[in-house]
Amino acid sequence: MANDLTSTAEYVLGHSDRELERLSTQARLIEPITREFFIDAGIVPGMRILDVGSGSGDVAFLAADLVGYEGSVVGVDRAPAAIVAARRRAEARSLSNVSFREGEPAEMTFEEPFDAVVGRYVLLFQADAAHLLRRLARRLQPGGVIVFHEPDWSMVRSFPVAPTYDHCCRWIIAAGTLGGSNWNMADKLHGLFLAAGLRAPTMRMKTFIGGGTEVGEWLRGVAELADTLLPAMEKFGVATAAEVDLATLTERMTREVAQTSSVIVGRSEIGAWSRL
């Protein structure tokens, strides 16, 4: 990183091929929510967009769909493996209005300003998220909009209690928190925008809730995230591999939910945006 202010906390998720695949699966589940946030924030055809922390390109591809071929999207990520994957996927889709660059977006220079800066699951990993927002706002032209979609795990629970699900969510939150990130962003985003010198953001929240067969996909997603975070769980003393028991984790959660007729509350998806 160029300096301490723009550095991230320990990025506990990594950039393995398996993790990039998990993120793409996750992206398919939450794409409708991100799309709604972006549309409500004012992303329209013809805009020039900067996608921050682009990963393997899912948010950039969504933004490209919204701005159309009369617009353009530049995706930026510091991880070489993610950029390689994003470029490969863009080529496979024959997308000419999307490009990807490796680097730190707060420190990079661009040929012209953007109409919007967007990002998903980025600010929670920043050591100084307000500083990043402040620097990114300088990449906008007057009237431009800055939009972020961030998670909040503070309300995850089950009722009646499905113990393995509740334990797994606590392990996930603890591993991320001990790694220096903030997985509960609902009460942080408003203050971060203000600290960055931006106008108070408009905010929205969407939360998964369900029971019975409706929760299977969510439970699989939680188990896959636990798989990614298991090294961090063990490193920080959160849980052992034997406690998590990845081989049976999804099945145990599913069985308990069925046996207790539990309702599952998942993480919340928070959208926040502000216009210059």
* HSE-CB of 167 using CA atoms within 13 angstroms: 14
Rounded average pLDDT over 98-119: 93
The phi and psi torsions of 41 (rounded to 5 degrees) equal: -75, -15
Q: What is the pTM of this model?
A: 0.89
Residue type, 39: I
Q: Does 134 score more than 80 pLDDT?
A: yes
Radius of gyration (Cα) for the chain, nearest Å?
A: 19
User: How high is the pLDDT of residue 263?
Assistant: 97
Residue type, 232: A
Say which residues have a Cβ less than 8 Å from residue 196's Cβ, sequence separation at least 6.
130, 131, 133, 134, 137
Q: What is the DSSP string of 14-47?
A: ---HHHHHHHHHHHHHHHHHHHHHHHHHT--TT-
pLDDT interval class at 21 (50, 70, 90): low
Q: Tens digits of per-residue pLDDT, 26-49? A: 677 889 999 999 999 999 999 999
Pairing of the two strands 202-211 and 263-275 = antiparallel
Model pLDDT for residues 148-172, shown as the tens digit of each residue: 999 999 999 999 999 999 999 999 9
Compute CA 201 distance to the chain's CA centroid, rounded to the nearest angstrom.
18
Whether the pLDDT of residue 24 is over 50: the answer is yes
pLDDT at 177 over 70: yes
- Residue 13 pLDDT > 60: no
> Residue 84 in 3-state DSSP?
helix
Bigger pLDDT: 107 vs 136: 136
pLDDT tens across 221-274, in order? 999 999 989 999 999 999 999 999 999 999 999 999 999 999 999 999 999 999
The C-alpha angle with vertex 184 and arms to 183 and 187, in degrees rounded to 5, equals 150
Q: 12-26, 53-67, 188-202, 252-266: which has the minimum mean pLDDT?
A: 12-26
Per-residue pLDDT at 55 exceeds 80: yes
Position 10 scores a pLDDT of 52
**Angle at the Cα of 65 from the Cα atoms of 64 and 67, rounded to 5 degrees:** 65
* H or E element that contains 217: helix 216-235
Spell out the domains of the chain, with CATH numbers in brackets.
4-275 (3.40.50.150)
Angle CA 70–272–62, to nearest 5: 35
**Distance (Å, rounded) from C-alpha 251 to C-alpha 248?**
5
- Could you tell me the pLDDT band of residue 212, with boundaries at 50, 70 and 90? confident
